[in-house]
Amino acid sequence: MKVLVTGGLGFIGSHTVVELQNKGFEVVIIDDLSNSSEEVLNGIVAITGKKPEFEKLDLKEKSKVEDFFKKHTDISGVIHFAASKAVGESVEKPLLYYENNISTLVYILKELSKKDKASFIFSSSCTVYGQADKMPITEDAPVKTAESPYGNTKQIGEEIISETCKVTPTLNAIALRYFNPMGAHPSAEIGELPIGVPQNLVPFITQTGIGMRKELSVFGGDYPTTDGTCIRDYIHVVDLAKAHVIALQRLLEEKNNANYEVFNLGTGTGSSVLEAIKSFEKVSGKKLNYKIVDRRPGDITAAYASTDKANNVLGWKAASTLDEAMKSAWDWEQKIRK
């Protein structure tokens, strides 16, 4: 079975390509290399022994998307990661985000709607819940007004898919709402490659640990949590990647209950920023230089997933602990800075 993975050279995309190939799927990657590198292909080959097909293509070019689907008529599923993901940048450049994240989604869905049968997995985010009223967060928690254009593209993206599925019985889709992905493949052949100064916690921790950054700023020590720092649900990227394969199989084997479904992907455990730092210190044996500073605007106090639906309906459960995920992130950081 041939699967298209858009953004397949990115962080979560590349780990998903590995898991797909491990399960015997034939993979075609589309990536515009705007936030990734062709060298990631070598890492995928090192792990799986198989080179996926790769086309450098900008999905904003509608005619190229049409040509791609004309050429690859045998694609049975699409996992769509390709998108811009920097929250701050999205506030500065909203139209860039709407064009990159929304028009590309529309072009792909248009092509899939022409097929007799199509399966589509969408990369969504727990950001759609904003600060949820109840923890853990279940899938039926209300979607709150987005804090940023980035967050809004995930909400609008989900709506576009759901509305398209309503009128397209041949299209089956699943939106996966990720909590906080982190870590790297245990082989340290692929991992996260943030460009410039990392905005996310874990790459900032590992870059500080290796000496690239002087100090980690912990954004806020006065939140109403056990230690005053924010709580998040950190999930190992390999667990996340495996969930994509399971979700795709669910659609291909027609086991889905409706032609549009939504699942949370998290561990179900909330960890504070200070707990993440402790985990790093434990697995690396290094003291981390950090200081508590003001809150970061737009941050929520706490978010962790109810995993019941993913466990019971999808049949998937995160296997890795925070320490295991942190160790893989640290191994990867050490490997790329050698």
Would you please indicate which residues are annotated as catalytic (active-site) residues?
Answer: 150
Beta-carbon neighbour count of residue 16 at 10 Å?
Answer: 29
- Contact window for ligand UD1 (CB under 6 A) among 15-23, 37-45, 89-97, 196-204: 196-204
**Residue from 204, 280, 316, 332 in contact with ligand UD1 (CB under 6 A):** 204
Mention every residue, 6+ apart, whose C-beta is less than 8 A from residue 110: none
Q: Which is nearer to ligand UD1, 273 or 310 (CB)?
A: 273
Least Å distance, CB 174 to ligand UD1, is: 18
Partners of 137 in the β-ladder: 305
Q: Which residue is nearest to ligand UD1 (CB)?
A: 230
Query: Contact between 298 and ligand UD1 (CB under 6 A)?
Result: yes
Q: Which is nearer to ligand UD1, 42 or 131 (CB)?
A: 131
Question: What angle, 0 to 180 degrees and rounded to 10, lies between the N-to-C axes of helices 40-48 and 11-22?
Answer: 30
Distance CA 282, CA 135 (A): 28
Q: Which is nearer to ligand UD1, 37 or 200 (CB)?
A: 200
Q: Which is nearer to ligand UD1, 65 or 231 (CB)?
A: 231
Partners of 121 in the β-ladder: 79, 174
Distance CA 162, CA 144 (A): 17
Query: Contact between 199 and ligand UD1 (CB under 6 A)?
Result: yes
Do the beta carbons of residue 112 and residue 165 sit within 8 Å? no
Q: Are strands 271-272 and 231-232 parallel, antiparallel or unpaired?
A: antiparallel
**Residue from 14, 155, 180, 267 in contact with ligand UD1 (CB under 6 A):** 180
Residue 80 φ/ψ, nearest 5 degrees: -105, 100
Q: Are strands 171-178 and 234-236 parallel, antiparallel or unpaired?
A: unpaired
Q: Which is nearer to ligand UD1, 98 or 219 (CB)?
A: 219
Query: Contact between 265 and ligand UD1 (CB under 6 A)?
Result: no
Q: CA end-to-end span of the chain, whole Å?
A: 38
Least Å distance, CB 205 to ligand UD1, is: 8
Site size toward ligand UD1 (CB under 6 A) is 19
Do the beta carbons of residue 12 and residue 40 sit within 8 Å? no
**Residue from 37, 200, 249, 334 in contact with ligand UD1 (CB under 6 A):** 200
Do the beta carbons of residue 234 and residue 325 sit within 8 Å? yes
Query: Contact between 207 and ligand UD1 (CB under 6 A)?
Result: no
**Residue from 66, 99, 281, 299 in contact with ligand UD1 (CB under 6 A):** 299
Do the beta carbons of residue 15 and residue 190 sit within 8 Å? yes
Query: Which of left, alpha, beta for 120 (phi over 0: left; psi -120 to 50: alpha)?
Result: beta
Distance CA 158, CA 293 (A): 35
Query: Contact between 217 and ligand UD1 (CB under 6 A)?
Result: yes
**Residue from 87, 175, 190, 193 in contact with ligand UD1 (CB under 6 A):** 87
**Residue from 84, 124, 127, 256 in contact with ligand UD1 (CB under 6 A):** 127
Q: Which is nearer to ligand UD1, 66 or 98 (CB)?
A: 98
Query: Contact between 177 and ligand UD1 (CB under 6 A)?
Result: no
Residues at the contact surface with ligand UD1, assessed by CB under 6 A: 87, 125, 127, 151, 180, 199-201, 204, 216-219, 230, 232, 273, 296, 298-299
